[in-house]
């Protein structure tokens, strides 16, 4: 409790409970009077130390013990105004202890208070009043501190959740940019190489390839803007057509098979991302001459007949991003070499995702 508690300077005002001792001392009820003044000064000093200083647990408990000894001893010797300092002691107990220990301490304090008041010659009413006042004061203070700790924990949790949401959004955005720009830049590189090869022997074809580069660049700008706003809607059919154009420009013969099934926007978008990433991997990491893109329901299978460059190479960030994205929708992505040669990427979404 010492390290995580609210500002308690206002609780110094409870030191006014010592007014009873001051009044009795000035009235001449204490003989000799100087121990009463010394005891009051020590009690208030220890209480102020507990309120103002976040002491280590052991030091705080020793301070509380010293305060309890002074208050109890003075109440047994002088009685009268010293009874009003038992509620102050209860506040100190709530400051230092928590959980089961504070419950035990407050219960014991109520008993000690009742005995001290009884020994001072008071009747049942004062005995019950002082005992209950001490106990209830400590309970209220303990509840206040506990409530403050819960609120602080909730605020901390809310901040962590906000930070996690920001981190997740940054991760989503980075994945989207990787998928968008990785594919687009690969297409631009392939077409630029075609322009370089055709520039001398077939200027007209080179011009068409250059126009394609311009078109792809403009499309990339549009897609990046849409990704930034978070409203990018991807059509699987349109994506497969772009994939076909990009791969065929690189000399890869592409076959696309679709079952014609209707799919909701979420499934379309996820499978389109898979098609884009699979095509990017073929362009970057394979020498394939042919590729098959097959869509069946909510499953997309991409096979090529090439030998992947850098055999044994760990999965790139694109495939990892796809696995994370489909995993959140209950789907999965697998990728690996085929027994007879070639490479396969398969992505599947559950039927529930397709129907949602």
The whole-angstrom separation of Cα 304 and Cα 282 is 8
What's the CATH number where 237 sits? 3.30.565.10
- Do 152 and 285 lie in one domain? The reply is no
pLDDT at position 303 is 92
- Do 81 and 183 lie in one domain? The reply is no
- Do 94 and 26 lie in one domain? The reply is yes
Q: Which of 160, 191, 214 is the last residue of a domain?
A: 160
Which helix H or strand E contains 347, and what residues bound it?
strand 343-348
The whole-angstrom separation of Cα 304 and Cα 250 is 14
Q: What is the DSSP string of 193-222?
A: HHHHHHHHH-HHHHHHHHHHHHHHHHHHHH
Inter-residue long-range contacts of 77-81, CB under 8 Å, 24+ positions, other chains counted: 77/35, 78/21, 78/24, 78/29, 78/30, 78/36, 79/116, 79/117, 79/119, 79/120, 79/121, 80/20, 80/24, 80/29, 80/120, 81/18, 81/19, 81/20, 81/21, 81/22, 81/23, 81/24, 81/25, 81/29
In a domain, 1, yes or no: no
pLDDT at position 3 is 46
Which helix H or strand E contains 91, and what residues bound it?
helix 86-96
- Do 96 and 244 lie in one domain? The reply is no
- Do 62 and 192 lie in one domain? The reply is no
- Do 29 and 80 lie in one domain? The reply is yes
Rg for the chain (alpha carbons), in Å? 39
- Do 141 and 202 lie in one domain? The reply is no
Range of the domain at 147: 9-160
Residue 81: which of 3, 141, 124, 29 has the closest Cα?
A: 29
| Residue 18 contacts residue 88 (beta carbons within 8 Å) | yes
- Do 148 and 202 lie in one domain? The reply is no
In a domain, 74, yes or no: yes
If 0-12 CB within 10 Å is exposed, 13-18 middle and 19+ buried, where does residue 98 land? middle
- Do 108 and 212 lie in one domain? The reply is no
Q: Return the HEC string of 220-245.
A: HHHHHHHHHHCCCCCCHHHHHHHHHH
Total tally of structural domains belonging to the chain: 2
- Do 111 and 188 lie in one domain? The reply is no
pLDDT at position 294 is 93
pLDDT at position 313 is 47
The whole-angstrom separation of Cα 344 and Cα 142 is 64
Inter-residue long-range contacts of 97-106, CB under 8 Å, 24+ positions, other chains counted: 97/1, 97/61, 97/64, 98/1, 98/142, 98/145, 98/146, 102/138, 102/142, 105/138, 106/134, 106/135, 106/138, 106/139, 106/142
Local mean pLDDT, 10-residue blocks, the chain (356 residues)? 55 76 79 84 84 80 87 83 84 83 86 86 85 86 83 79 66 68 74 79 79 76 62 72 84 87 80 87 83 91 80 59 82 87 88 52
In a domain, 2, yes or no: no
- Do 143 and 255 lie in one domain? The reply is no
Q: Which residues pair with residue 34 across a beta bridge?
A: none
In a domain, 85, yes or no: yes
Query: What's the length of the chain?
Result: 356
- Do 122 and 228 lie in one domain? The reply is no
Q: Which residues pair with residue 293 across a beta bridge?
A: 256, 302
Q: Which residues pair with residue 294 across a beta bridge?
A: 257, 301
Cα 351 to chain centroid distance, Å, stands at: 31
pTM of the model: 0.46
Which helix H or strand E contains 257, and what residues bound it?
strand 253-258
């Amino acid at each position: 409790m010492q390290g995580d508690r609210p500002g308690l300077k206002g609780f110094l005002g409870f030191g006014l409970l010592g007014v009873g001792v001051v009044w009795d001392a000035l009235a001449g009820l204490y003989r000799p009077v100087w121990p009463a003044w010394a005891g009051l000064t020590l009690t208030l000093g220890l209480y102020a130390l507990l309120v103002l200083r976040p002491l280590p647990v052991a030091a705080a408990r020793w301070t509380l013990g010293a305060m309890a000894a002074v208050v109890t001893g003075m109440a047994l010797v002088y009685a009268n105004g010293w009874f009003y300092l038992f509620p102050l002691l209860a506040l100190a107990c709530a400051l230092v202890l928590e959980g089961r220990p504070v419950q035990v301490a407050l219960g014991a304090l109520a008993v000690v208070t009742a005995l001290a008041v009884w020994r001072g010659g008071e009747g049942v009413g004062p005995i019950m009043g002082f005992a209950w006042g001490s106990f209830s004061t400590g309970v209220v203070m303990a509840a206040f501190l506990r409530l403050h700790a819960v609120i602080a924990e909730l605020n901390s949790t809310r901040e962590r959740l906000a930070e996690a949401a920001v981190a997740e959004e940054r991760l989503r955005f980075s994945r989207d940019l990787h998928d968008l720009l990785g594919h687009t830049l690969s297409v631009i590189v392939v077409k630029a190489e075609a322009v370089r090869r055709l520039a001398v022997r077939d200027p007209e074809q080179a011009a068409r390839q250059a126009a394609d580069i311009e078109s792809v660049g403009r499309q990339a700008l549009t897609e990046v803007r849409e990704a930034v706003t978070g409203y990018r809607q991807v059509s699987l059919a349109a994506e497969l057509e772009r994939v076909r154009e990009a791969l065929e420009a690189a000399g890869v013969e592409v076959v696309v098979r679709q079952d014609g099934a209707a799919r909701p926007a979420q499934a379309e978008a996820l499978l389109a991302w898979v098609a884009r990433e699979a095509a990017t991997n073929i362009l970057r990491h394979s020498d394939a001459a042919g590729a098959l893109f097959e869509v069946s329901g909510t499953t997309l299978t991409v096979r090529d007949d090439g030998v992947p460059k850098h055999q044994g190479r760990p999965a790139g960030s694109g495939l990892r991003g796809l696995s994370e994205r489909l995993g959140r929708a209950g789907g999965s992505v697998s990728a690996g070499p085929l027994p007879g040669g070639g490479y396969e990427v398969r992505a599947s979404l559950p039927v529930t995702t397709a129907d949602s």
